[in-house]
């Protein structure tokens, strides 16, 4: 029993030191920014309070929601690879071409702050990936459907089979179809 308590205390100590080490990596200015922000999770919703200038707001958001932003990018990367046979970098590059010089300085600063906040929280994302995530609907639901019509896309299509008569166990029809539509 004492051994178990000791193990629990050691784990708690290491976890405490891990979060302390993360907090120690923050500058005094970053700590001040985070002191004005907070996050409240309730019933599956995240309420986030941020304030300040664009970079400061972005930093707070990136720091407080780093895990969710990271998970979102990984999810989109997985789904789009499956649905389009394209790596996420393809869409990130497209977003940067599409949005270059079209995003206000305020939003650029806020996205840069989000990237910085995520990095301080232990999650790595590039500014280009952040720009893509902020415009993913435009890229994936508007630009890509038009773009893919211009190029020949290899990959799966529909597949089906039908059998009847002596090739089935009871002579009745056996049939299957797969459209590969949103298969993931």
Mean pLDDT for all residues in the chain = 84
Instruction: With H, G, I as helix, E, B as strand and everything else as coil, classify residue 148.
Output: helix
The kind and range of the H/E element at 175 are: strand 174-178
pTM for the full model?
0.70
Averaged over 32-50, what is the pLDDT? 96
Flag whether 168 is in a domain: no
Given a contact cutoff of 8 angstroms between Cβ atoms, the answer to whether 95 and 139 are in contact is yes
Q: How far apart are alpha carbons 127 and 115 in whole angstroms?
A: 6
pLDDT for 146 beyond 60:
yes
CA 78: distance to chain centroid?
10
Flag whether 66 is in a domain: yes
Mutual orientation of helices 127-134 and 88-99 as an angle, nearest 10°?
A: 80
Flag whether 52 is in a domain: yes
Q: How far apart are alpha carbons 97 and 26 in whole angstroms?
A: 33
Flag whether 94 is in a domain: yes
Flag whether 8 is in a domain: no
Q: How many domains are contained in the chain? A: 1
CATH of the domain at 107: 1.10.439
pLDDT (tens digit per residue) in 97-122: 999 899 999 999 999 999 999 999 99
Percent of the chain with pLDDT over 90: 59
Q: Helix, strand, coil proportions of the chain in percent (round to 5)?
A: 60, 10, 30
Flag whether 170 is in a domain: no
pLDDT for 47 beyond 90:
yes
Q: Residue 171: is it exposed, middle or buried by C-beta count within 10 angstroms (0-12/13-18/19+)?
A: exposed
By residue range, what is the domain housing residue 138? 36-153
Confidence of residue 90 (pLDDT cuts 50, 70, 90): very high
Instruction: With H, G, I as helix, E, B as strand and everything else as coil, classify residue 146.
Output: helix
Flag whether 73 is in a domain: yes
Phi/psi of residue 145, nearest 5 degrees: -55, -35
Residue at token pair 């997985």: 78
Given a contact cutoff of 8 angstroms between Cβ atoms, the answer to whether 94 and 146 are in contact is no
pLDDT (tens digit per residue) in 20-33: 445 559 999 999 99
Flag whether 182 is in a domain: no
């Amino acid at each position: 029993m004492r051994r178990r308590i000791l193990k629990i205390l050691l784990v708690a100590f290491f976890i405490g030191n891990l979060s302390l080490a993360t907090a120690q990596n923050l500058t005094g200015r970053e700590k001040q920014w985070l002191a004005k922000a907070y996050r409240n999770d309730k019933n599956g919703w995240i309420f986030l309070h941020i304030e300040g200038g664009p970079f400061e707001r972005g930093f707070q958001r990136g720091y407080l929601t780093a895990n969710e932003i990271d998970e979102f990018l990984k999810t989109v990367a997985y789904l789009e690879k499956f649905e389009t046979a394209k790596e996420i970098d393809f869409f990130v590059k497209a977003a940067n071409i599409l949005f270059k010089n079209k995003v206000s300085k305020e939003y650029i600063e806020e996205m840069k702050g989000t990237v910085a906040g995520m990095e301080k929280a232990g999650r790595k994302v590039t500014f280009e990936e952040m720009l893509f995530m902020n415009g993913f609907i435009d890229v994936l639901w508007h630009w890509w459907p038009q773009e893919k019509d211009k190029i020949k896309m290899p990959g799966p299509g529909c597949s089906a089979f039908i059998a009847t008569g002596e090739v089935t166990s009871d002579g009745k029809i056996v049939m299957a179809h797969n459209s590969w539509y949103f298969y993931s």
